[in-house]
Amino acid sequence: MPGKQGNNLSEELRLHCPDCGKNTPMPPHACPECGQIMQIRGKMRRSTSPVIVVLLLFLLLGPFGLGMLWRNERFELPWKIILTVLVLAYTIGVVWYAYDAVNGALNSLGGASSDDLEKALQQLQGM
């Protein structure tokens, strides 16, 4: 097709013979020149945009997205470390806030302390 750019996987990846240096498009597994096993050369995948990675880390995935951060080639090591610490601190804050909110809601609904609950259990056991 006219105007089509090389987005096809077979156009991006080429097999390289380590023996004779010949490059061939996929899929031959052995070099047609010397018979040596071919190796893949070329860019296999593109890294996800850094903006998307940061948004996913803080809005959706949290610590479950750290693998995506560390595999991404577009972030340098210091940024990976900084973002990892920030995501972990953010996650601890969210969990603490949720715990505090649930604990406060339960206390306001029942109005009973843990001592009151223990006394009620002892009374039930005594019956």
Which domain does 115 fall in, by range?
50-126
Check whether residue 90 and residue 58 sit in a common domain: yes
Model confidence at 104: pLDDT above 90: no
Query: Quick one: pLDDT at residue 90?
Result: 92
Query: Quick one: pLDDT at residue 46?
Result: 66
Quote the pTM value: 0.49
Query: Quick one: pLDDT at residue 57?
Result: 85
Model confidence at 62: pLDDT above 80: yes
Q: How many helices (H) and strands (E) does the chain have?
A: 5, 3
Number of folded domains that form the chain: 2
Model confidence at 116: pLDDT above 60: yes
Check whether residue 114 and residue 56 sit in a common domain: yes
Q: Which is nearest to 22 in space by CA: 38, 10, 6, 11? A: 38
Query: Quick one: pLDDT at residue 87?
Result: 92
- Report residue 39 as tokens: 């190796």
Beta-bridged to residue 14, according to DSSP, are 25, 41
